[in-house]
Amino acid sequence: MNGAGSLQGRCALITGGASGIGLEITRAFRAQGARIVVFDRDPAAGEALRDFDDVLVVQGDVTEPSDLKGAFDAAEERFGAVDVAVANAGVSQNSPTLDLDLAAWRRVMSINLDGVFLTAQEAGRRMIPRGQGRILLMASMYGVVAAPERLGYCVSKSGVVMMAKALAVEWARHGIRVNAIAPGYVRTPFLDDLIARGRLDLEKLQERTPIGRLIESREVADMATFLASDACGAVTGQVLGVDGGWTAYGYI
């Protein structure tokens, strides 16, 4: 989607950047010349990335403001100011609403909504004085359309959608662009586990998706790379779907 080197010399901080979609974004940004700070709470997940000179792995929790502050501090010390912040860390929630206890509700809200807010807020604190920056928030097609037995997930991701719009309006005068990405069903180990446990039907998901297949992680990463680049300088406050046409299809 972008020419080689479109992020050359930029510093990007990616939460949840050691696995799944986050890891694919890490790889895509590196391929475009960016230096990466991977912020992940699983120390083992980022082990394979520690040998790269252009990658710094920081362990921490997105729900802890002090952890995020430490990650941004580490980024500035190693690579300079953070140019791009990607609030990617999140969890799913797939259960009947009557079985959803308060602890599970609070967990999905804490990670998917509070964690994104805290990441964006810390990024804003660093970017506003510089008068520039790009912030990407990972939403979901289920932040745009609803689905049963995913109440916590849908509510948290719809909050991320509105957060992107509100921050984009508030921070545009500071030279900061804020956008959200709304993936559909992406083929990840987590999704494979839900399919194996019978929580999702792969064949039905493919039939329901107009392009006839699930989304690949690299396709979400391509969108993130585009939004982080100079190719869309006037794009802010938008929710970009990477869902194979799922949310557009309302026939049956």
Q: What are the tens digits of pLDDT across the range 202-250? A: 999 999 999 999 999 999 999 999 999 999 999 999 999 999 999 999 8
Question: What are the backbone angles phi and psi of residue 198, rounded to the nearest 5°?
Answer: 80, 10
11-185+216-242 has CATH 3.40.50.720 classification: yes
Helix (H, G, I), strand (E, B) or coil at 39: strand
Residues tagged active-site: 153
Tens-digit pLDDT profile for residues 4-32? 568 999 999 999 999 999 999 999 999 99
Which residue has tokens 């939004």?
A: 227
pLDDT band of residue 65 (cuts 50, 70, 90) is very high
Tens-digit pLDDT profile for residues 86-129? 999 999 998 999 999 999 999 999 999 999 999 999 999 999 99
> How many C-alpha atoms does 201 have within 13 Å on its Cβ side?
5
Question: pTM to 2 decimals?
Answer: 0.95
Helix (H, G, I), strand (E, B) or coil at 105: helix
